[in-house]
Amino acid sequence: MTVADRDSQHGTASDFLARIAAHKREELAAREAARPLAAVRAAAEAMPPPRGFREALRGPAPRLIAEIKRVSPAKGALNPALSAAAMARAYAAAGAHALSVLTDEAFFHGSDADLVEARQAVALPALRKDFVIAPYQVYEARALGADAVLLIAALLEPALLAELHALAEALGLAALVEVHAPQEVDAALRAGATLVGINNRNLATFQVDLATTEEVRPLLPAEATVVSESGIATPGDVRRVVAAGATVILVGEALVTAPDPAARIGELLGAVAWSS
């Protein structure tokens, strides 16, 4: 049982996460029926070594994970006709350090093909951004060529979070463990997370507040690589989260909706230098 399942029984989890958990169970059953776990595991273990996702995020702040997404449950259609390969090439040329590719179909209109096409188009490491609730999906991510996998603390019981984190590392994948609130930090750290995403979006209300990064970052070890996610659209936003201790930003909506994504990346990556 996921955290969302458990909490929804008591009326405390967001409807969004509960709906995702229910849908992912159905989707997972269909995928396993079409391609058994043993086959996916064999494919994952036969893949060449992943690109260094964690290594790409080391260096002077801000480091940028540029996201490819067509739709947002909070905002609706963003750029539904985008080409994942073309967007990846634009991001790489503008100086992005890594990619995040939405592969969830039901809620974000993404696909596994988007991940494959984006990663083949550039040399950047890529995060498969989806809602992982079982080991099958970690093996699947590696079999698709992903270099990193997203693990959402609010979606997973602590024991399962730790199991999936260990499996990702065993496969050579970086595990970006996402937290949304202070109470999720302990489970992330107990799972062994050293690459932590702080999502500034409240999944119950969809409201975004960069104060979440400011509140949660002090609870994490100084040596952790911290990614501030959601709500970052301007140089001022970048300066704020970097001042709070995040060294990496994950930006999606502000890039896929920009008339010139490359120019927007230049603005965001130059934000800290401009402030000095």
Nearest-angstrom CA–CA distance, 241 and 2: 30
Question: Percentage of the chain surpassing pLDDT 90?
Answer: 82
pTM over 0.85: yes
pLDDT of residue 91: 97
Confidence grade of residue 203 (pLDDT, cut at 50, 70, 90): confident
Nearest-angstrom CA–CA distance, 190 and 184: 10
pLDDT of residue 30: 96
Confidence grade of residue 275 (pLDDT, cut at 50, 70, 90): very low
The stretch 135-150 carries a mean pLDDT of: 98
Q: Is the pLDDT of residue 11 over 60?
A: no
The stretch 189-203 carries a mean pLDDT of: 95
pLDDT of residue 95: 97
* Count of helices and strands (H, E) across the chain: 14, 10
Q: Is the pLDDT of residue 132 over 90?
A: yes
Question: Percentage of the chain surpassing pLDDT 70?
Answer: 93
Q: Is the pLDDT of residue 128 over 70?
A: yes
Half-sphere exposure at residue 50, Cβ-oriented, CA atoms within 13 angstroms: 30
The stretch 3-29 carries a mean pLDDT of: 69
Q: What is the mean pLDDT of the chain?
A: 91
pLDDT of residue 9: 38
**Predicted confidence (pLDDT) per residue in 70-82, tens digit:** 877 777 777 777 8
Nearest-angstrom CA–CA distance, 201 and 209: 7
Amino acid in the structure at residue 88 = A
The stretch 58-64 carries a mean pLDDT of: 95
Residues 224 and 195: beta-carbon distance below 8 Å: yes
Residues 196 and 225: beta-carbon distance below 8 Å: yes
Query: What does residue 255 show for φ and ψ, rounded to 5 degrees?
Result: -90, -45
Q: Which two tokens stand for residue 227?
A: 């990614």
**Predicted confidence (pLDDT) per residue in 205-225, tens digit:** 788 999 999 999 999 999 999
Place of tokens 């260094």: 52
Confidence grade of residue 273 (pLDDT, cut at 50, 70, 90): low
Place of tokens 């988007």: 114
pLDDT of residue 50: 97
Residues 97 and 124: beta-carbon distance below 8 Å: yes
Fold for the domain defined by 3-275: TIM Barrel (3.20.20)
Place of tokens 């965001």: 268
184, 205, 200: which is closest to 241 by C-alpha?
Answer: 200
pLDDT of residue 111: 95
